[in-house]
Amino acid sequence: MTPKLGIAFTLIGALLLVLSIFTYTKKEKVADIGPFHVSVEKKQPTDWMPYAGGLLFIGGIVLIVTSKRSG
């Protein structure tokens, strides 16, 4: 059970680390006056905390290594 949990933590941590790098573009309506539409594109970073992903990644590796030593 522990190696599977370690692998899951490692994969989730790596995913969080990769996703924290990306930004996405959000289109926001500023004004809508008759036939005229004004919108603005804003870049938004992802809200994942990179250090949480790093902790999960390292914790998963520790779980994998310690389970191989004891088993």
Q: If residue 5 lies in a helix (H) or strand (E), which one and from where to where? A: helix 2-19
Predicted pLDDT at 41: 92
Predicted pLDDT at 46: 74
Q: Are 60 and 11 within 8 A, CB to CB?
A: yes
Q: If pLDDT is split at 50, 70 and 90, which confidence band does 71 have?
A: low
Give the count of domains, the chain: 1
Predicted pLDDT at 24: 82
* Full domain range(s) for residue 53: 2-70
Q: Are 13 and 58 within 8 A, CB to CB?
A: yes
Q: What is the pLDDT of residues 16-53, one digit of tens each?
A: 888 777 788 889 888 888 888 899 999 887 776 788 88
> Does residue 58 or residue 50 have the better pLDDT?
58
> What angle, rounded to 10 degrees, do the helices at 2-19 and 50-70 form?
160
